[in-house]
Structure 1
Amino acid sequence: MSTETIVWIIFAGIAAILISLFQYYYKAKRKDKTTLLFAFLRCLTWFAVFLLLINPSLKKKTYYQEKPKLVLAVDNSASIKHLDQTQNVNQLLAQIKASKTLQDRFDFEFYSFSEQLRDTLDLSFKGPQTNISKSLEELDQVYKNKIAPVVLISDGNQTYGKDYQYLGTGFKQQIYPIAIGDTIKFTDAKINKLNVNRYAFVKNRFPVEVIVSYSGSDQITTNLSVTNNGATVYATNVDFSKNNNSAVLNFELPAEVPGVQVYKVNLDPIPGEKNKVNNVTTFAVEVIDQKTNVLVISDITHPDLGTIKKSIESNEQRSVTLKKPIEVKDLEDYQLVILYQPNSRFQAIFEKLSSLRKNYFIVAASNTDWVFLNRIQDKYRQEITRQTEYYLPRFNSNYGSFLAEDIGFSDYPPLIGNFGESSFNGAAEILLYRNINDIETQDPLLITAEEDGIRTGMLFGEGIWRWRANSYLINKEFESFDNFFGKIIQYLASNKKRSRLNTIAESFYYGNAGVTIKAEYFTKNYEFDSRGNLQIDVRNKATDKVQTIPMLLKNNSYEVVFSNLVPGEYDYTVRVMGENLSRSGSFSVLEYDVEQQFVGTDVTKLSQLATNSNGKLYYANQFTDLVNSLTTNPNYKILQKSNTTVVSFIDWKYLLAFIIFCLAAEWFLRKYYGHI
């Protein structure tokens, strides 16, 4: 309280006394022995009122203790159950919760994790995959400004993500792993990894790579075989020893029958092997009986031609042939024809396209003969100015012919196109608009159209080789651009009629991954409709069990993810509620549980993680040692902190009650003694 406030309080006390004496002695007509009592009560009332007007404030300091956090992260993946350690984990958690020593020193924070970190201890030990590194990184972000050692209860087996053993170096918190499971190394031969493409073409052979390993000291020989529909399609012997404990097997298999073909890879168990689940794995390949052939016709040499070829052929289901106009004899073998900067030499090409009703895609720019192009077709027209302009792309999020995504076009370099107004006839849709410098226009840069069953497209600019290069500079890969361009090719190369409801699903999924199915729903004007109410029915062919789930809107599609489908064959139907509109399909879920591939605890990685974070590795039977280490660590002290609050008299309700009491007492006493 300041000196000025104290002076004002003194003046208030003097003023209260003077006013009371004035009212009860100077002005009063009747004076007796009760006058002093009345004056005293009035003085207290005036003084309290003056205190409210002055409103002095008092500082109140309280003290409290702040315990450090003790973060307990528990592995909730299926490998804990597979290794028969669920009871040990639950017993260890019960010990921690019951430890009075830890309770007095720490505030507990419980988490569980498998593929994701969750702030709950609802343990089911059914997590299909384990990502320890991601969970630790998230914990480090949550407690980066606090003292919070992490007790990691896990078997150390991770199925995907960064290698967590090197993460502890940059962490602020110390990590104390508790190794759960059998730390004895058993003799084991297993299939570590299998690499194979999802697609193959009928009557061709496709490559398969199998990586196998062995943990043991004896010299052994085992057999690896691959079967399809019960028939062995490949077999070989594999030799292992203490020093030669891994092998990479590369071979090719024939693709004879179209459709999804499921293969089973089996590594014969060795004597004394404990875990035989990791000796078997399955994979599937979709055998396609037709390849999409694309013909690119150009009368000039340009870097765009190489980009178009590489981008299209990044999908193994497609092949590209480059020809000059005079070299083209037949178009029957091609599903799509790309006309690069056509001129009068393309006269016969356009006539053949019209007679065969072929889909085509035109790239028009500075070397295009627009006098010829405006005359030979009536879908697209360009004002002839003989000048060029730089056009920046702008993505149209309302494009609805197929599901397209903005791959960062705002950062892409401009294309060189013809200066002047462009127009199109019919029901064409704009996928990319033109921007000229910072000016947004409604003129098209990339459009597609469908009329009378024929699909066409037009790109009003050259230089897309810069777009593919820019995609690599930004993302360190070409995939984003290739996928975008591939969707254009897929749409134009297809002769399927346009539908207001389309579904997107894989032909098969692996059991350890979620099953994701997407749907596109359009209005009668073929504009994406975000107001739809879509539901999906999924039926297991073997059991006839049906699941019905609403599909959720996500960006420009509807999506549902199934994470609990057992291996088998499934049919699905997507329906638009309130409309007679539906689409059906089928898929397979292959049997594969990555969490059952482990035979014991990965002590090496857990120990390295503890060392890098300045923590220490413990085992389940060393709980007492862990408690001693945590409670004796000088970094984990209970801090005494103070909290200062400022209390104003005007907020003090008791002062108002005191004023009311004084006035009421004065009134009752005066009434009692007959002064009123």
Structure 2
Amino acid sequence: MTTETILYIILAGVVSIALAVFMYGYKSKQTGSLRWIFGILRFITLFSILLLIINPKFKSETYTIEKPKLPVLIDNSASVRELGQTENVSELLQKFKENVDLNNKFDVSYYSFGNDFRESDSLSFDEKNTNIAKALSLTNRLFKNKTAPTIIVTDGNQTLGNDYEFSSASYKNAMYPVILGDSVKHTDLKIEQLNTNRYAFLKNQFPVEVILNYSGLKPVNSEFIVTQGAATVYRANVSFSENESSKTLNFTLAANAVGLQKYTAQLLPLAEENNKTNNKKQFAVEVIDQATNVLVVSKITHPDLGALKKAVTSNERRTVAFKKPAEAVNSLNDYQLVILYQPDRGFASIFNEIEKTGKNTLIISGLSTDWYFLNGAQDHYNKEASNANEDIQAKLNSNYGTFAVEDIGFNDFPPLHTEFGALTISVPNEVMLEQTVNGITNGNPLLATMEINGKRDAIWDGEGFWRWRARSFLQTESFQSFDDFIGNLVQYLASNKRRNRLEVSSETFYYNNNPIKISAQYFDKNYVFDNRASLNISVKNTETEKQTVFPMLLRNNYYEVDLNSLSAGEYNYTVSVANEAVSSSGSFTILDFNVEQQFLNADVSKLRRMAQNTNGKAFFASEGDLLINALIENTNFQNIEKSEQKVVPLVDWKYLLALIVLALAAEWFIRKYNGLI
């Protein structure tokens, strides 16, 4: 408290005493004890009011001791069980929890990771993937700017995410890997990787690439075969040695029948192999009779066109062709969707041909668009043309119901460029993305779809969405979310299928180590998305006849269910709406592939390099006591004394108000009691 504040408090006391004496010592008509009581009460009231006005404060300093953090990250994936390390993990964790010195020195916390990263309450060792890089990244963020040496209990075999050895270079704290497994080299043949297209066209050949690995010392011979049912469709003899431990096979298979074609690839095992699970892998290809052909018409070269092609062709069922307006006029019948990029008067013949053929269109406008021409070339929408430019961002309309759209972070994407002016749509439409400027919606659509007499069209008012694809990759380390968004838009526009009240979207087949999700949209009788409905999906295994019912959860403008709990097999499903005679049926196949069963050893060298990169040290599971002693004896990890200084009021204003009210009330009651009021 400053000297000035102390002087103000003394002055307030003197003034309060002086006023109380003046009112009840000099001017008061009361005598005896009442004069003293009223004077004291009035002094309390006046002094409290003046203290409220002065609001004296003083500095309060508190000291706390903060232990260094010790996060323990535990691999909860199935590979730990496959390597027979579950008991070692349990014993190690028990040592950590029971060691008094360790818990006195560190604030120990436990986390598990596999597909995801979470606080550890129990361990099941059944997660189907391992993402070590994600666990390290989230731990680094969680303990940012803190002393937090990190123990990571794992076999080092990662199946998802970035390379954790290089990711650890940005980790601020020392890492102490506990290696689950050994470094003994076992004799083993395995199918390391199998690559093929998800879709193939009827009567075509589709390519298959297989990478085969051998772990061992002596030369061996084996045979690689691919079967479809009881028939062998490919066979090759392969040989390996210590120096030639990897083989890559490239071959093609014929797509002779429409529908899902399932295959089994097998590398015949050696007699001395311990792990024969990794010698076999199932894969499938969906053979389709016709591709979705998309035509992009443009007079200019722009990065948007490259992003558009990448996004559309990310699905093998779609092809993209680029043409200039003069070249495209006579070939529209070869395509299901025509994308017109920034049209001007040179597109006049294209618009005339589209009107004749009734082709579905997506028009993308930007700074090179001739809106005077475009306003006259069609009668669906109109924009006030101007010479001014505007930067806009996007906001997803959560009520959009034409098809399922996931918010991929539109609010955070870079701005698009468009011509300033109001865009008015004069036909029935649904706005998917709204324009925003500085976070405020300006009332104009950025992306809207419309369907009139079975013809589907869309207007996208803004150029520069190639930056959206780049930003999406930076945020998610994948182009998939943006490509799926464009793919869903193209799929809707390229189809002339009449919309049903219940639309279900599913894949023909899934691998059981990947997400297995089915989505659906339900519309009321006016074809408006109904978010109040209750949807269930009944799934039946065709082999075991076991039937399971799952509720579908609402996600913005669609319903979704996660079926990862199902085992491999063939399934029929029916999606139904409660209290409505509306349903939709289909089928899918789950292919068995457990990537966590592919490993024989811990990745010892990689874990050791990671420890070295962060100034830590690697230990085997049997060396738990050595790890604990190393942490306890390390002088770099010390308690930190922290001081916190706060400026707090001398007296809480609530207490002063209560005192003022109490003093005034007491004076009033005393006056009333003595008949002075």
Secondary structure at 2:622's aligned position in 1? coil
Q: Which residue of 2 aligns with 1:399?
A: 400
TM-score by length of 2: 0.75
Cα distance in 2 between the residues matched to 1:292 and 1:58: 75
Tell me the SS of whatever aligns to 1:234.
Answer: strand
Cα distance in 2 between the residues matched to 1:434 and 1:514 = 33
Question: How many residues matched?
Answer: 601
Q: Is the 8 A contact 1:198 1:286 kept in 2?
A: yes
1:125-524 to structure 2, matched below 5 A, reads 125-294=125-294, 301-303=299-301, 312-313=312-313, 315-320=315-320, 322=323, 334-336=335-337, 345=349, 349=353, 352-353=356-357, 359=360, 366=370, 373=377, 380=380, 397=397, 398-404=399-405, 408=410, 411-415=414-418, 423-425=425-427, 427-431=428-432, 447-452=448-453, 454-459=454-459, 466-468=464-466, 471-472=469-470, 475=473, 483-524=484-525
Match of 2:556 in 1: 555
Displacement after TM superposition at 1:203 (Å):
0.7
CA contact (8 A) 2:375 2:381 kept: no
Partner letter of residue 169 of structure 1? A
User: CA–CA distance in 2 between the matches of 1:644 and 1:346?
Assistant: 73
Q: Cα distance, 1:430 vs. partner?
A: 4.1
Report the alpha carbon displacement of residue 159 of structure 1 after superposing the two structures with TM: 1.3
Residue 81 of structure 1, CA deviation: 1.1
2:37 aligns to what? Answer: none
Q: 1:343, 1:373 within 8 Å by CA — same for their partners in 2?
A: no
Distance 2:618 2:441 in 1: 61
Name the CA shift for 1:510/1:96 in 2 (closer, same or farther; >3 Å).
same
Q: Within 5 Å, which residues of 2 pair with 1:78-157?
A: 78-157=78-157
DSSP 3-state at the match of 2:261? strand
Over 3 Å counting, the alpha-carbon distance change for 1:388 and 1:422 in structure 2 is: farther
What TM-score, normalized by structure 1, do the two folds share? 0.75
Runs of 5+ in structure 1 lacking a partner? 12-48, 652-676
Confirm or deny: 8 A CA contact 2:337 2:494 kept in the other structure: yes
C-alpha contact 1:391 1:435 (8 A) present in aligned 2: no
Q: Superposition RMSD on alpha carbons, in Å?
A: 4.8
Residue type of the alignment partner of 1:274: N
Counterpart CA distance in 2 for 1:174 and 1:363 is 51
Identity of aligned residues (%): 41
8 A Cα contact 2:472 2:481, kept in partner: no
Which deviates the most, 185-194 or 547-556? 547-556
Deviation at 1:384, TM superposition (A): 11
Which residue is 1:22 aligned to?
Answer: none
Distance in 1 separating the partners of 2:615 and 2:132: 18
Distance 1:363 1:104, change over 3 A: closer
- Mapped to 1, the partners of 2:120 and 2:282 lie a distance apart of 34
Alpha-carbon distance in 1 for matches of 2:492, 2:116:
36
Distance in 2 separating the partners of 1:582 and 1:366: 46
Does 474-483 or 506-515 show the bigger shift? Answer: 474-483
Structure 1 match to 2:581: 580
Distance 1:88 1:503 in 2: 46
Name the CA distance, whole Å, in 1 between partners of 2:250 and 2:278: 19
Q: Distance in 2 between matches of 1:348 and 1:149?
A: 69
**DSSP-derived class of the 2:159 partner:** coil
Secondary structure at 2:133 match in 1? helix
Task: List runs of 5+ in structure 2 lacking aligned partners.
Answer: 14-43, 653-677
Residue identity opposite 1:115 in structure 2: N
Give the Cα separation in 2 of the matches to 1:633 and 1:309: 56
Distance 1:295 1:607, change over 3 A: closer
- After TM superposition, give the deviation of residue 382 of structure 1 in Å: 5.2
Deviates more, 1:480-489 or 1:593-602: 480-489
Query: Which residue of 1 is the match for residue 544 of structure 2?
Result: 543
Tell me the equivalent position of 1:24.
none
In 1, Cα distance between equivalents of 2:66 and 2:372: 76
What is the CA-CA distance between 1:508 and the residue it aligns to? 1.0
The CA deviation at 1:637 is 3.9
Partner Cα separation in structure 2 for residue 253 and residue 588 of structure 1? 21
- Give the Cα separation in 1 of the matches to 2:613 and 2:363: 58
